């Protein structure tokens, strides 16, 4: 995450303006463990990667995790939802 400010320095600006911004880098997933679980859900899944600190959702395919905890910028623990067998 990068935070900063940008000032309008153009001659056309009647009043100087400062725009505050926050840029959150794109998250990447490098590992998921375990790789499988029961179709009834409930398995705790550890997701490892980068830039995970600002995650707002975790999904398995199109289904939201039953819950998740952001442990750090590089790790999330999620509870797998119930679903049918197959790759997500």
In this predicted structure, the answer to whether residue 50 has a pLDDT above a threshold of 70 is: yes
> Is 0.85 topped by the overall pTM?
no
- The whole-angstrom separation of Cα 6 and Cα 21 is 8
Q: Mean per-residue pLDDT for 23-50?
A: 94
Which of 9 and 2 is assigned the larger pLDDT? 9
In this predicted structure, the answer to whether residue 2 has a pLDDT above a threshold of 60 is: no
Closest of 24, 17, 19 to residue 4, by C-alpha: 19
Tell me whether strands 75-79 and 67-72 are parallel, antiparallel or unpaired: antiparallel
Closest of 81, 59, 55, 83 to residue 69, by C-alpha: 55
Q: Mean per-residue pLDDT for 12-35?
A: 82
Could you state, in order of their start, the residue ranges of all structural domains in the chain? 26-79
In this predicted structure, the answer to whether residue 35 has a pLDDT above a threshold of 60 is: yes
31 DSSP 8-state letter: E
Q: How far is CA 77 from CA 1, 14, 33, 45, 49, in A?
A: 21, 50, 10, 6, 12
**pLDDT value of position 60:** 94
Question: Do 66 and 77 meet the contact criterion of CB atoms below 8 Å apart?
Answer: no
């Amino acid at each position: 995450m990068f935070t900063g400010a940008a000032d309008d320095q153009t001659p056309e600006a009647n009043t100087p303006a400062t725009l505050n911004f926050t840029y959150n880098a794109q998250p990447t997933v490098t590992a998921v463990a375990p790789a499988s679980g029961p179709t009834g859900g409930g398995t705790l899944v550890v997701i490892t990667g980068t830039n995970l600190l600002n995650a707002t959702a975790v999904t398995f395919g199109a289904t939201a995790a039953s819950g998740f905890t952001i442990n750090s910028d590089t790790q999330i623990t999620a509870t797998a939802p119930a679903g049918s067998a197959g790759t997500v």
